[in-house]
Structure 1
Amino acid sequence: MSVSSSSATRRRTFAAVGTVAALALALTACGSSESSTSDSSSMPGMDHGSATASASVAPGGTFNAADVEFAQQMIPHHQQAIEMAKLADGRAADPEIKALAAAIEKAQDPEIDTMKGWLKSWGKPLPAASMGDMPGMDHGSNGSGMPGMMSDQDMRGLEAAKGKDFDKKFAQLMIGHHEGAVTMAEAERKKGADADAKKLADAVITAQTAEIEKMNKIIARL
């Protein structure tokens, strides 16, 4: 074989090897791209829809605005009921009124502590003050979002009453107060998210509805 023929053969061989190598590299790159795409889609949290849904939920969140409002408003509402109940000592004459006042104080004081604990754990502020101490809190509709709250005048009238007069005033005012609490609890049951808050709302509805019925019977016989 001549030198020129040998050189031509070597050039053809190198060209063929170069073509094969280039094809191999292209196939490898293509495979890597497909593998990368597949791996990304299979990685947790890489699905766009799932990531969006997760972002809408606060980490560890179990409550919503309705739960916060329920606790912030029910605390002063309960506080006023306890203030009313304490007035029965030395003023009430009817045994059932005395027992009812004691039951209200015993039940609602721990509930206040419970709701304060929720607000603290949620990072939300406690009510600034007892609404019963604030001016303009008229009985019934008062513009505060808390139905059933007594006015200062209501409280002074109850404080000045004694005996049968106190018993009747107490029952009448507490019925309105309880009806307001039931309204607030029903709103929590419908709109709230926290399981414990909704459970307390159920308890308020059950207990205070029963007490309303009892007080209506007391008024009927006084």
Structure 2
Amino acid sequence: MWLCRAGAPTNSPATEERTAVLRRSFVLSVAVLAIAGLVSVSACSNSGNDQGGRATSGVSTSGSAAGAHNANDVTFAHHMIQHHQQAIEMSDIVLGKQGIDPRVVNLANQIKAAQGPEIQQMQSWLSQWGASAMPTTTGMDPGQTAMPSMGPSPSQSGNPNGGGMPAGGGMMPEGDMAALRNAQGVEASKLFLSQMIEHHRGAISMAQNEIGSGQFPPATAMARSIVSSQQQEIDTMQNILASL
């Protein structure tokens, strides 16, 4: 009897309870790991879907941006390119002279640095829109695309030397460009400043029209920048002119 009981010992209640606790802990751990795995897979899947959605949205936005323009945007780009080209031509003329006030030299370089990239940007827009490119020349030859008149300025009104482009918009007629080419020293500095002030005022009027009537956000943003920067340059030029 004693040997039989010794060969088949029974677990105590404490041992059985510990075993049950360990078993429950093991099952709980497995369940937690399984849930964590499912969450991880779901997160990866959602991330991939989100990235795909953003990529699709980005392409769609880019495509719609190229088409979100109107006739005023095209006109603004065409005319402002030509306007900027003449400003750069005027700057090159004065930079090629001797005896120019250093402040005028700095201003001319500043104008070229700002307006050159803007020309390239507007040409890129025209290409995106499938619009025809404007001629690269900046003179006032007959037959050029006319710029909407902003009202004749004192130096342009009735000037017979103007070409196909009507007076207005701040554009200098050929007679004024010739006067700038022939001027020297202080007189050249003064003439450049007075002409560029008028030129900038025309650009501001064109930009304000784009702000009010344009549809393409980058173009209206450029127009706002032109209004701000060129008004500051007008103030600077008026101060320089008063001191010469």
Asked if Structure 1 and Structure 2 have the same fold, meaning a TM-score greater than 0.5 normalized by the shorter chain, the answer is yes
1:82 to 82, 88, 93: 88
Letter in 1 for 2:103: E
Q: 1:131 to 1:83 in 2, by over 3 A?
A: closer
SS at match of 2:94: coil
**Pairwise CA distance, 1:71:** 0.1
Is the Cα–Cα contact under 8 Å of residues 175 and 212 in structure 1 kept in the other structure? yes
Deviations for 1:160-181, whole angstroms, at most 9, x for unmatched residues?
Answer: 1111000000000000100000
Query: 1:194 maps to what in 2?
Result: 216
2:113 to 106, 117, 121: 106
Query: 2:30 maps to what in 1?
Result: none
Query: 2:231 maps to what in 1?
Result: 209
Quote the Cα distance in structure 1 between the aligned partners of 2:102 and 2:190. Answer: 13
Overall identity of the aligned pairs, in %: 40
Is the Cα–Cα contact under 8 Å of residues 192 and 198 in structure 1 kept in the other structure? yes
Deviations for 1:135-159, whole angstroms, at most 9, x for unmatched residues?
Answer: 4989656764851101111111101
TM, length-normalised to structure 2: 0.62
Q: Which ranges in structure 1 are unaligned for 5 or more consecutive residues? A: 1-58
Query: 1:115 maps to what in 2?
Result: 122
Quote the Cα distance in structure 2 between the aligned partners of 1:70 and 1:209. Answer: 18
Quote the Cα distance in structure 2 between the aligned partners of 1:157 and 1:172. Answer: 12
Q: 1:151 to 1:207 in 2, by over 3 A?
A: same
TM, length-normalised to structure 1: 0.68
Query: 2:199 maps to what in 1?
Result: 177
After superposition, residues 156-167 of structure 1 pair within 5 angstroms as: 156-167=178-189
CA RMSD in angstroms, aligned pairs only: 2.2
Deviations for 1:40-68, whole angstroms, at most 9, x for unmatched residues?
Answer: xxxxxxxxxxxxxxxxxxx8321001100
Aligned length: 164
Q: Which ranges in structure 2 are unaligned for 5 or more consecutive residues? A: 1-62, 147-151
Quote the Cα distance in structure 2 between the aligned partners of 1:211 and 1:130. Answer: 25
**Pairwise CA distance, 1:220:** 0.8
